[in-house]
Amino acid sequence: MSAPSRMISDLRSWLDSKAALTVLVLLHSALTCLSLIKVATFQYYISFNVERLWIAVIVAVGFSVVSLLFVVARFSFGYFVGFYFYTMILGFLWIEVFSYYSYEQLPAGISAALALVLFLLPVLFVKAPLRQRFTLSNAHFEHLLTLILAVSMITIAVAATYNFRLVSVANIYDYRDSLEFPAAVRYLMGWVSSTLLPFAFACYWLLGHRWRAALVLILLLLFYPITLTKFAFFTPAWLIALAVLSRLLEARTAAIASIFVPMLVGLVVIVVTGAALNSIPGRYFDIVNIRMIATASSALDIYNNFFSSHPLTWFCQISVLKPLMHCPYDVQLSILMQDAYELGKLNASLFATEGIASVGIYLAPLTALASGFVLALGNRASAGLPPRFILISAGLLPQTLLNVPLSVAMLTHGAALLFVLWYVVPRSVFAQERSSDGERSRSGTAG
C-alpha cells in the first residue's frame, strides 16, 4: 500500500474510532442547538430568550448523553434512522424551552426523551438475521433490477400524463396543491421514487455499472416536474453525496456526517453572509436547517399544543382503520394542522402521529417502542449486506420518516418493500464489497 493510501486508511480508521465518534456526536448536538438559535431569528414559533438559555443548555447537555449510544452501536439501517430521530428529538427539547405555544411542557419533554430511548433500543440492537427461506440467484437478481427500471419508466410515463411542469423551485407552490393522481399511481410513485430507484442505484453503483446508475438518477430527477417537490429535485444529489461519503468514511461516520455536514454548511453560510432567506445562502439555510431539520422538531411542538386541548385519534387517521372506528376528524392530520396554524400542510413523524396525536404524551413512549421493533425488521432483513449498500439504498428513508407517520413510510413510501428486497438479495453479489467493508472495520477496531 502506498504512503498516501495508508494515510487515508489510517484517517478513515481513526474517524470510526470510539474517541472520534464521541467527539463527532457531541459536536453534532452542539451544532443542532446553535442552528436552532439562528432559526429562531426567522421563525416565530421559537421565542428565543437569552434569560432561558441556561435551561435549554442544561436540557441539551443532559439529553446528549443519549447520543453516546451511537458510539457503542454498530452500523445498521436502524442506526441511520435512529440518528436522524435523535437530532429531531434534541431539536424539539430545545425548541420547547422557547416555545411560542403552551402545553404541559415538562411531561411532554420527558415523554419525548423516553420515547426516543425506547425507540433506539430495538433499532440499534435488534439485529439477528432473518432466516432466508427464499433468495434470488445472481441471474434472477439482475432480472429484478431490469424489472425495477421498467416499472419505474412506466410509472413516470403514466404519472406525467397527470402532471408535468418545468417550473423553478421557487414557484412550485403555485401548482402543487392542485395536483391529483389516482391512488394506484400515487402508491407506485412513492414506491419507485423512495425505494425502488434508490435500491437500484445502490446496486448499480456498488457493482460498478456507472451508466446504469446514471440512468437511475435521471429517472429520479424526472419526478420533480411530476410531483413539484424539493425532495424530488434534490434526491439525485443526495444519493451521490451518500455514495461519496460512504466511500470516504466508515458507515457510522458517514451516517452522522450526512446530517452534520449539510447543517454545518448552512449555519456557517448564513452567519458569515448575514443573508436574508430569499438570497441564495438564505435559501440553502431554509431548505436544510429549517425545513429539513427544524420543521420536523417543531412539528412535535405544534402537535403537543394541539392535542393538549383536542381529542386524540387513537389511530383513526390510518386510512385502513378510519372506516372501522369513530374518528373526531374528517381530514388528514396535515390538513388539520394547516387549518389550525396556517403554516401549510404539516406532516409529522411517528413520534407526533402514532405517538402524541394517537395516544397522548403518557402512552407515546410505548408506541415509539413498538415502532422501533417494526423498523428493526429492516436490520434483520439486511443482515449480511455491506453497510455501504444499506446506507445508500435506504438513503431517502431517514428524511421520509422525519416527515410522515410510520404507517405512511412503510406502505406509501415503500419501506416495507425495501425490507423485502434486502431479504431476497443474494449475499454473494456483494461479496467483494462486503469483504472490503470487513477489512476496513477490522482496521478501525485495531486503531
In a domain, 336, yes or no: yes
DSSP alpha helix (H) spans, 382-414: 387-393, 397-403, 406-411
Contact 86, 28 (CB under 8 A): no
Given a cut of 50, is residue 447 above it in pLDDT?
Answer: no
Contact 95, 49 (CB under 8 A): no
In a domain, 10, yes or no: yes
Q: Give 13's pLDDT tier (boundaries 50, 70, 90).
A: low
pLDDT, average across residues 179-186:
86
Question: Higher-confidence residue: 230 or 205?
Answer: 205
In a domain, 191, yes or no: no
pLDDT 10s digits, 31-52:
999 999 999 888 877 878 888 8
Worst-scoring range by mean pLDDT, 14-28, 111-125, 367-381, 415-429?
Answer: 14-28
Share of the chain above pLDDT 90, in %: 51
pLDDT, average across residues 224-232:
86
Given a cut of 90, is residue 89 above it in pLDDT?
Answer: yes
pLDDT of 7 reads: 53
In a domain, 245, yes or no: yes
Share of the chain above pLDDT 70, in %: 92
Worst-scoring range by mean pLDDT, 213-222, 293-302, 430-439?
Answer: 430-439
- What is the phi/psi pair of residue 99, to 5°? -60, 140
Torsion sign, CA atoms 164, 392, 299, 372: positive
In a domain, 199, yes or no: no
Cα angle, residue 43 at apex, residues 39 and 45 outer, rounded to 5°: 115
Q: Which cell numbers hold the place of 321?
A: 382503520
pLDDT 10s digits, 277-311:
778 888 888 888 898 899 999 999 999 998 888 89
In a domain, 19, yes or no: yes
Given a cut of 70, is residue 124 above it in pLDDT?
Answer: yes
Give first-to-last CA distance, the chain, whole Å. Answer: 17
Question: Higher-confidence residue: 171 or 256?
Answer: 256
Worst-scoring range by mean pLDDT, 49-53, 62-66, 221-225, 385-389?
Answer: 49-53
Cα angle, residue 151 at apex, residues 149 and 156 outer, rounded to 5°: 95
Q: Give 103's pLDDT tier (boundaries 50, 70, 90).
A: confident
pTM of the model: 0.89
CA-nearest of 40, 39, 38, 15 to 25 is 15
Average pLDDT over all residues of the chain? 87
pLDDT 10s digits, 125-147:
998 888 888 888 888 889 999 99
In a domain, 56, yes or no: yes
pLDDT, average across residues 412-439:
79
Domain count within the chain: 1
Structural domain of 375? 3-133+241-446
Task: Label each residue of 10-46 as H, E or C.
Answer: HHHHHHCCHHHHHHHHHHHHHHHHHHHHHHCCCCCCE
In a domain, 415, yes or no: yes
Residue 285 CB partners (closer than 8 Å, separation 6+) = 38, 266, 267, 269, 270, 275, 277
Q: Tell me how far apart the alpha carbons of residues 202 and 206 are, in angstroms, rounded to a whole number.
A: 6
Given a cut of 70, is residue 441 above it in pLDDT?
Answer: no
Give SS3 for 99.
strand
pLDDT of 445 reads: 42
